[in-house]
Copies of this chain bind each other. A is one copy, B any other.
């Protein structure tokens, strides 16, 4: 078989690439060894959002109960939540498969390996098929990594996929890694009554954000009785006598019913035999790409696997570019523009563009202007008033926006446009800001006095 384009992997990047390529009239194949949709749909963004959405009533009730404006209790049915989630995933996979079929995309089930710079093999239980291609788009993504001594065993030490298969909330859960996965799953299980202890080797929660974000998160989670251990390295994480036992480098131990290893991902590039196609990798196998997302002649690598940005929408954006470049619609270098990223849950983090340290590292002099959510009537209405919106300015233009607090992920698209367009202060008045909205906290932050970062 020969195809104009073979796409490897059916996550957000691969799906977008295959549908775009086929829509452009190219004979297209999509290789997938597991479920259509990849990590995002099956084990990442979507299942976690399904879990958080299904249980969102709990922290709202909890907050009001503290204020004595409400009393009550909610029992969640985790198996039913899981079934509902699985039904939605199945429906979404099926819709995606139908769309691919309607566009004439061949779905090749199996694992792809390059045999040469112009051919690859797809291996499954039934054997191995040789596939020739004009161009390839590698979109194989990433997977949870295992640090030595901290390998998830699926028993009491779980990875981010295992934890989604639990049918009962553990009484206690240790989470290693205070990024999006750890914070979101911690929020979810705490709603089900689980006692959470979160462990992070770096000094702050949400360690890729400015330290004030992590500080605020810490204050909020402390009040929610989370155990928080930051700046401490973990030596081992093991199942011992039916419990998860974490040992710090200091020798101190923590014990819980389960532990979630929520730190670190590695690229899904090994089985590709990248060297056979002249593809170079770095570190754990991240595929090196040039300014056009090319890993080798006629071979693009997009999404997690190229290590640029491990976010579904980054893969999607790169997929559009790769197909445009492959079909000659663009010759310009790839530029992502400001990247939005959120941590979801009752307390959320929203950032668009670089953080303060990244801007400073790039040589910029940064000013910040901030508004506190406590002054916002919508934050007040939910009783969740901790948090802020902060704008990062360079040369009187918006270069980044970060926020933490209840509901701040809702600001993401307005913030993305504002950072992309590098608004000046006067642009804030170019629109009427609806009242009353949480968005007014963004407006206030844009108009607030500035100070050097």
- Using CB atoms and an 8 Å cutoff, list the residues of chain A in contact with chain B: 12, 40, 45-46, 49-58, 60-61, 64, 67-77, 80-81, 84, 88, 92, 311-314, 316-317, 320, 336-342, 377-378, 380-383, 407, 409-414, 416-418, 420, 429-439, 442
Contacts and interface: CB of A to CB of B under 8 A. Distances in A.
Contact of A439 (B311, B383, B412): B412
Contacts of A381: 49-54
A74 B70 contact: yes
A378 B432 contact: no
A84 B69 contact: yes
Nearest to A41: B377
Nearest to A418: B417
A344 to B, nearest CB: 9
Contacts of A409: 434, 437
A53 B382 contact: yes
B414 A420 contact: no
24 contacts: A12-B435, A45-B377, A45-B436, A49-B377, A49-B381, A52-B381, A54-B67, A56-B382, A57-B58, A57-B61, A67-B80, A69-B76, A69-B77, A69-B84, A72-B73, A72-B75, A92-B377, A320-B429, A338-B432, A411-B413, A412-B439, A413-B437, A413-B442, A420-B431
A195 to B, nearest CB: 20
Q: Secondary structure at chain A's binding surface: helix, strand, loop or mixed?
A: helix
Shortest 3 CB-CB contacts between residues of A and residues of B: A53-B381, A72-B74, A410-B410
A434 B340 contact: yes
A316 B50 contact: no
Contacts of A46: 377, 436
Given A80-B68, A409-B437, A432 B382 contact: no
A64 B71 contact: no
A434 B414 contact: no
Contacts of A336: 432
Contacts of A84: 67, 69, 383
Nearest to A46: B377
Given A72-B72, A412-B439, A442-B413, A313 B432 contact: yes
A37 to B, nearest CB: 11
A413 B435 contact: no
A412 B437 contact: yes
Contacts of A56: 60, 382
Contacts of A92: 377
A308 to B, nearest CB: 12
A75 B223 CA distance: 24
Contacts of A420: 430-431
Given A53-B380, A431-B417, A71 B75 contact: yes
A40 B435 contact: yes
A369 to B, nearest CB: 17
Contacts of A311: 435
A90 to B, nearest CB: 12
Contact of A69 (B81, B380, B436): B81
B432 A317 contact: yes
B412 A50 contact: no
A316 B440 CA distance: 12
Given A72-B74, A410-B410, 14 more contacts: A45-B435, A52-B381, A53-B381, A54-B69, A57-B57, A57-B58, A67-B80, A68-B77, A69-B77, A316-B432, A340-B434, A412-B437, A413-B414, A413-B439
A341 B434 CA distance: 7
B317 A49 contact: no
A164 to B, nearest CB: 14
B50 A380 contact: yes
